[in-house]
Structure 1
Amino acid sequence: MPASPVVEHAVEIAGLVKRYDDRAVVDGLDLAARPGQVTAVLGPNGAGKTTTIECAEGLRRPDAGRVRVLGLDPWTDARELRPRVGVMLQDGGLPTGVPAAQMLEHVARMYADPRPLAELTDRLGLASFARTTVRRLSGGQRQRLALAAAVVGRPQVAFLDEPSAGMDPQSRHAVWELVRELRDEGVAVVLTTHLMDEAEDLADHVVVVDHGHVIAQGSVRELVASAQDRTLRLDAPPALDVAALADAVTPAGGPRPVVAEVTPGSYTVVGAVGPATVAALTAWLAAQDVLATRVTVGRRTLEDVFLDLTGRELR
């Protein structure tokens, strides 16, 4: 068998288009993921990220564009790619009538050099439900089993869809440690998640997708970096006059911060936030006879950036 070509990008997507009926849910999207990195793909519901990843997994055929995984076409070269790619679907995609351990043993037998099952069982805490049928597992247990099935074959590329959804904190951290280990082994991990702290903690590269396009990408540091912008968070009674608050904290001749009531009683002030901003805020609150229960200042987070890019409206 000829040696596999050396590729700079484990996943390359260029000009991807996928339509359902007459609607393009992915419309000219470009994306790349490197070996030895975690690439997090973020986007609101309906943004096109799941369809994009399904095209890379060979589960859907693109209508236009170029998709390559390890230099191969995931649709036409599926047989060659399957032993080299791990896939974890959000719904698990697992047979429901067999015990968890039996299912994982069956998957492991499909590979020439699988990971030791005892190691995976211990790392992901599978022993406690090894004899339980898949249909009777909790959501978090199914996710751990699905992750084990995705990585047991030592993939070169791992597509992980919401890998820690429904998990308790202990399970989440076990999953995160395994993802970091895969990255350090040189695996290209492509991660889709709605958990901004997960992406912020794990990702080497972040791709934000909306309306079928990539609207921003870079490292977490690059996306949140700004020469001046910080975020002040304030907990106070709901329905404060945010326009008046913005007036109060705007420096003379300086830029006006963006002030919003994110949820009832929770406010953010984003901009050139400094000591003078905090002083002006507290003076304004005192003049309104309003007591704040919490005031914190910190850098912008990935969630702040995500909401700025994609909006706060429900979809």
Structure 2
Amino acid sequence: MTAIRAEGLYAYYGTNAAVNGLDLTVPDGATFGFLGPNGAGKTTTISMLTTLLKPTAGRAEVAGVDVVSRPAEVRRRIGIVFQESTLDQDLTAAENLRFQADLCGLGRREARGMIAEMLDMMELSGRSNVPVGQFSTGLRRRLEIARGLLGSPRVLFLDEPTTGLDAQTRAAVWEYLGRRRQEQGITVFFTTHQLEEAEHCDRIAIFDKGKVVTEGSPAELKSIIGSDLVVLRTEDDALAAEQLSERFGLTTEPAPDGLRLRVPHGPTLVPRLCAGLGVTVLSVTTTSPTLDDVFLHHTGSEIRESGTKTRTLSDIGEGMR
């Protein structure tokens, strides 16, 4: 079964293609993530899949329903957490959820139970009667996620879902979403520029300039890089670089923290490197490939925590590819 399917999906703003020929298949019950910087077209994609924006070309189905010809039916089958807050600031937390429950057609008893569960899960029970206008950004984000889960949607769309949340609450949100997935088979589709958040995905689509650059599980994508990053600091880095080249055939790149090099099976090779150098080693660290490495490999840039792109391959040097 397929939760989301897109074929040749385009979205133009004037002459600029925000989404450029997207083909996408998301199976039922999966956690699927769009990983990319701000401006890549992630929010535009969600807007089309949730019927908020009509595609310029192509077609898409969500929960088996065409987003253009049957938008009302699509909306009955989905939940949405927007990147920007859409809560009513004058209503309390409980009133915001009750309003959403009415829109979802929930009965009074069912709604009361679900609202209590959502508020408790997001640690908002003590603030249920507080106007949302008095909430911090993080508290509002928690309430928006709770609202998106009301009505047991088949597909939950999350646009940068944990913005403003602390690490503990972020972990609790993902634990709860994982439990809902297992119990109800809900499909979670979310956009993010946070690399650690993408690790929660069954599959990731790296999205840049309106296109899917590559797709796979986190492990599959990182296996493309293959090599570990070793950072070596010695008493004479210039001499160490020469010896690493001559004795081991390794290419290094100078960096503020020492010499950087990519090698397979870094933890196994490091003792040999240290023993084979005629230079005193002051420190050495080994890091396995990350999703940032994958993004850099496929797009030529890294992602900052702010969501913007930063260093390019030319900045880092050919030896660090």
- Taking the TM superposition and a 5 Å limit, the aligned residue runs for 1:277-292 are 277=270, 279-280=272-273, 286=279, 291-292=282-283
Match of 2:297 among 285, 300, 308: 308
Matched, 1:199 2:198: yes
CA distance in 2, matches of 1:50, 1:282: 51
Local SS of the residue matching 1:131:
coil
Give the Å deviation of 1:103.
Answer: 0.6
Mapped contact 1:26–1:51 kept (Cα < 8 A): yes
Give the Å deviation of 1:308.
Answer: 2.4
Matched, 1:64 2:57: yes
CA distance in 1, matches of 2:19, 2:285: 39
CA distance in 2, matches of 1:130, 1:38: 29
Which residue does 2:207 correspond to in 1? 209
CA distance in 2, matches of 1:235, 1:94: 52
Pick closer, same or farther for the CA change 1:260–1:40 going to 2, 3 Å: farther
Give the Å deviation of 1:258.
Answer: 6.6
CA distance in 1, matches of 2:146, 2:169: 13
Match of 1:78 among 55, 67, 71: 71
Match of 1:13 among 3, 6, 15: 6
Give the Å deviation of 1:112.
Answer: 3.6
Aligned length: 297
Mapped contact 1:39–1:203 kept (Cα < 8 A): yes
The alignment's C-alpha RMSD in Å is 2.9
Which residue does 2:166 correspond to in 1? 168
What TM-score comes out, normalization by structure 2 length?
0.82
Matched, 1:188 2:187: yes
Pick closer, same or farther for the CA change 1:131–1:22 going to 2, 3 Å: same
Which residue does 2:25 correspond to in 1? 32
Give the Å deviation of 1:128.
Answer: 3.1
Unaligned runs of 5+ residues in structure 1 are 1-7
CA distance in 2, matches of 1:258, 1:177: 41
Mapped contact 1:230–1:270 kept (Cα < 8 A): yes
Match of 2:149 among 127, 148, 151: 151
Pick closer, same or farther for the CA change 1:258–1:93 going to 2, 3 Å: farther
Which residue does 2:37 correspond to in 1? 44
Pick closer, same or farther for the CA change 1:95–1:231 going to 2, 3 Å: same
CA distance in 1, matches of 2:239, 2:276: 13
Give the Å deviation of 1:109.
Answer: 2.1
Greater fraction of residues in helix:
2
Match of 2:285 among 276, 296, 303: 296
Which residue does 1:4 correspond to in 2? none
Q: Which moved more, 1:217-226 or 1:142-151?
A: 217-226
Residue type at the aligned position of 2:114: P
Which residue does 1:106 correspond to in 2? 99
What TM-score comes out, normalization by structure 1 length?
0.83
Which residue does 1:177 correspond to in 2? 175
Unaligned runs of 5+ residues in structure 2 are 303-308, 312-321
Matched, 1:271 2:263: yes
Sequence identity percentage: 35
Give CA deviations for 1:233-278 in whole Å, capped at 9, x if unaligned. Answer: 46899xx97x987655447575x457474xx548753232534455
